[in-house]
Structure 1
């Protein structure tokens, strides 16, 4: 991988929470809206998922989770901040890659929420680079684990990574947001095939199913 990690992975987590509050604080009555990228969830379910993840990570880092009966979106956001403030400190003390998967999950879901609300992705975000690194590592493991030739991943802005082992046999180029969504299981096989490939994409399409991710049957957002 040629991209560097500019800051510890946990630094984007408060920005994700602020992003959710900015998106939802001025919008009433959206708690029951479906999230297309997570079709079984409503907006309230999405926030509840993130709050639950934060509680589990806090407990793993020795923190005490405050008792909560939060169920509405405003209540869940408040509880998430209560948990998150303690978690931010503990992640900072742990350093390294502690919490990086949680941050990636939270940022990916911020993008899901933005898509559900018709709001474009942020131009800049503290969680973007470390989250992208997590996705590239996971995808790279999938490429290598399936015995596929290495693939160069390149954004139209010039950033690039090598997924898999050895010299890349092909290059996949896409705008940064599209490449992120592709690696995070938010693009269908047809959408993946429609990206800019230097070789036939079929060899690498199976690798986009890894960890919790797999391409949706219908076009993703």
Structure 2
């Protein structure tokens, strides 16, 4: 069955916007563990700004650090309720083809940052469908990179092949934890606590090693 990516995106937008609208100034200053350079407010500024930039075609530097940091800086003075409104409005104009394109899409970005936000706010995970859909797509993209050193990684739930396996990695965590590692959401020390394969997992992470 073909996944309903536009529907998944719309549901995630509503969850994130609802959370954002309830964030006060104090919580907005809280650091986000998965993206240590950002506060909760910064993360929400990026999500609102990224959705607006995509629909407006303002993509110079995308998806690099200068692009995301501009979104954060431009929205520093806005309330989280305003950021929630912007996210909803821009997401409502998002072309469906943008959400269903091959490779990383706004769906990937939003679902990943929703997990970042929930971890920062000490909230339960998003619905399991979010990472169950995303993980195989991410594994396929990483495994298809030129010269990637392939391996098989066994989580507490399943076994995943990254490229052509030449080594076996075990992970004392579920598929959600593997996805967080592959999205550079875990530090070297955090990965080493749960896996014997930090030397294989960290180099293939989408955004490289995460700052401690």
- Which residue matches 2:162? 163
- Which residue matches 2:211? 216
- Which residue matches 1:120? 124
Bigger radius of gyration:
1
- 1:24 and 1:206 map into 2 onto residues whose CA distance is 31
Q: Is the 8 Å Cα contact of residues 30 and 40 (structure 2) preserved in structure 1?
A: yes
* Larger relative contact order (CA 8 Å, sep ≥ 6): 1
Instruction: Give the secondary-structure state (helix, strand or coil) at the position aligned to 2:28.
Output: coil
Cα deviation for residue 33 of structure 1 reads 2.3
- 1:118 and 1:178 map into 2 onto residues whose CA distance is 16
- Which residue matches 1:64? none
TM-score (norm 1): 0.73
1:9 corresponds, among 5, 10, 26, to 5
2:19 corresponds, among 11, 15, 23, to 23
Cα 1:216–1:134 shift into 2, 3 Å:
farther
Instruction: Give the secondary-structure state (helix, strand or coil) at the position aligned to 1:40.
Output: strand
Cα deviation for residue 83 of structure 1 reads 0.7
Cα 1:39–1:185 shift into 2, 3 Å:
same
> Please, which runs of 5 or more residues in structure 1 have no aligned partner?
62-67
More helix by share: 2
- What is the RMSD of the two structures over their aligned residues, measured on CA atoms? 3.0
TM-score (norm 2): 0.75
Q: Is the 8 Å Cα contact of residues 181 and 191 (structure 2) preserved in structure 1?
A: yes
- Which residue matches 1:97? 101
Cα 1:78–1:99 shift into 2, 3 Å:
farther
Aligned length: 194
> Please, which runs of 5 or more residues in structure 2 have no aligned partner?
59-73
